[in-house]
Structure 1
Amino acid sequence: MSATEFRDLCGMAEFRAAVALQVAVWGEGDTPDPAELMMVIQAEGGLAAGAFAGGRLIAYVFGSPTATPGVQHSHRLAVLSEARGRGFGVALKWYQRRWCLTRGIRHVRWTFDPMRTVNAALNIARLGARSATYLVDYFGAMGGINEGLPSDRLLVDWLLDDPLVAAKSEGRFVAEEPKDSLRIRLPDDVETLMRCHREEAFEARLALRDSLRDAFAGGFHITGFDCVELTYILTKDGAA
């Protein structure tokens, strides 16, 4: 693959390419963000950026301003299947961090499916985001790759000037897990489970929902993710 350029989207052709990318990633049953909406939100201070290889959009990130000054909501992050495993997703998130910090934005929020290990590895382990908020069936019934399952989500907080986040952005060593932490494990091979065994996936969803909600009610926060053991690492009061 040719050299990759990371930059803001420019012009309706690139916004339409972002629509096509969403459909390719989430499936025909999903409702993509319209090109016109992305263009307008970008014009009003939001972020619509992508990774381009040979002039072709292969990944994109989309975020909007919120009612709280200095806080952005990050709505979408997507990488084409052919380009996965090459670090484009995490590189776009670091682009987003730089973009936000230069504009006085120091807090980014977004949601992700807590049962998908790839997302947990990126959002928690690689980026240093944290969570103590579980949203039950947040988007209601969905199509595409999410069809047939409750759209449960974790709301994560990404504190851009947190020393942990700064260290991860530079690839520096991060402190070891506290001894009093709690671990919650994800099912093995989640992607196959969600794609081929929907009844088992549904039961796994409910079990994870109960475990995480109970932990949050007990004062625990997600502060890490073990990519080998496929477990969330939770500590009290968000201590890392």
Structure 2
Amino acid sequence: MTPVQPVRFQKLERIEDLERVVSLLCEVWEAESPVDLINASNLKLMVEADGYIVGMFTDQDEMIGAAVAIRGKDALHSHFVGVRPGHQGRGLGYLLKQDEAEWAKDEGFRVIRWTYDPLVRRNAYFNLAKLSSKVLSYKRNYYGELNDGLNDNDETDRLMIEWEFTDGEPMRLTAPMEADSWDFTERPAALLDLGDGVHQLVPTPADIEKLRLHEPERAQAWRSGVRAGFAKAETEGYEVTGFTPDGWYVLRRP
């Protein structure tokens, strides 16, 4: 990983700065327009409601990241956190989340909640292993159909998670197979029981975005299989407790 570059964070309020946020988010989400993301006028309303709208800038004043969060009754709801392509993979997303957490703490919030696609492995590892967030629930087709670039032609299943601003370590469990090699013909529900009476694992694809573009049927099999795996585990009383470095959700009975 390339070392983190010097950055500064700035709370944004002017409409021209909010337009820059929208443009950056469209670039990150590969969206042709902000219709299914967010527009500057919506961000302006969030500013008036004292929400969290922050830009991350280099020392040359280039905006390379942005985050948007909405006040809730008992938690801050993180809506967008994005780092511009070309600057990703350098730990900048982690810095954005830390700034968001500091702001939330100063505002009296104990936790931050947000959703993410359970098939995106890098986000699962970041959220559950690096941040030690807790999974609250599996949401089937939560946002309905979106045409925002990354979610085109797929249902929007999401995991709702909660972060209490704590650090965590990756899970150390080892699966007997590679997560990406799951055979949906033999096992339509993507759920692996380790046979210890305690743990089950749900696999993830190595690159769901690439599958959506080049192997849409395989991508759909992953969506249906992971959905079924989580549903089966829930009926058996298992809860998500972490995510392994090699791409598996770790579930166990409380």
Distance 2:44 2:247 in 1: 37
- For the 8 Å contact 2:138–2:157, the answer to whether it is kept is yes
Provide the residue aligned with 1:230 in structure 2.
Answer: 247
- For the 8 Å contact 2:130–2:170, the answer to whether it is kept is no
- For the 8 Å contact 2:13–2:47, the answer to whether it is kept is no
**Residues 186/174 of structure 1: CA separation in 2 closer, same or farther (3 Å cut):** closer
Q: Which runs of 4+ in 1 moved over 3 A?
A: 173-177
**Deviation of 1:175 (Å):** 8.2
**Deviation of 1:202 (Å):** 0.6
Provide the residue aligned with 2:37 in structure 1.
Answer: 32
In the comparison of the two structures, how many residue pairs are matched?
225
Structure 2 unpaired stretches of 5+ = 174-195
Provide the residue aligned with 2:88 in structure 1.
Answer: 84
SS in 2 for 1:21: helix
**Deviation of 1:32 (Å):** 2.5
**Deviation of 1:102 (Å):** 1.1
Provide the residue aligned with 2:20 in structure 1.
Answer: 17
SS in 1 for 2:211: helix
Distance 2:25 2:19 in 1: 10
**Deviation of 1:134 (Å):** 0.9
Q: How does 1:1-240 map to 2 (within 5 A)?
A: 3-26=6-29, 27-28=31-32, 31-53=36-58, 54-66=60-72, 68=73, 70-143=74-147, 144-160=149-165, 165=166, 167-168=167-168, 180-227=198-245, 229-237=246-254
The higher radius of gyration belongs to: 2
Distance 1:23 1:136 in 2: 24
**Residues 6/231 of structure 1: CA separation in 2 closer, same or farther (3 Å cut):** same
Q: Give TM-score, length-normalised by structure 1.
A: 0.86
Percent of residue pairs bearing the same amino acid type: 26
**Deviation of 1:29 (Å):** 5.6
- For the 8 Å contact 1:130–1:221, the answer to whether it is kept is no
Cα distance per residue 1:51-91 (max 9 Å; x no partner): 1112121111111012x2x3111111111111101111111
SS in 2 for 1:131: strand
Distance 2:49 2:65 in 1: 22
Structure 1 unpaired stretches of 5+ = none
SS in 2 for 1:83: coil
- For the 8 Å contact 1:62–1:75, the answer to whether it is kept is yes
SS in 2 for 1:85: coil
Cα distance per residue 1:113-143 (max 9 Å; x no partner): 0000121111111111111411111111111
Distance 1:159 1:140 in 2: 28
Provide the residue aligned with 2:176 in structure 1.
Answer: none
- For the 8 Å contact 1:135–1:154, the answer to whether it is kept is yes
- For the 8 Å contact 2:150–2:209, the answer to whether it is kept is no
Distance 1:75 1:182 in 2: 30
- For the 8 Å contact 1:14–1:57, the answer to whether it is kept is no
Distance 1:189 1:32 in 2: 22
**Residues 52/122 of structure 1: CA separation in 2 closer, same or farther (3 Å cut):** same
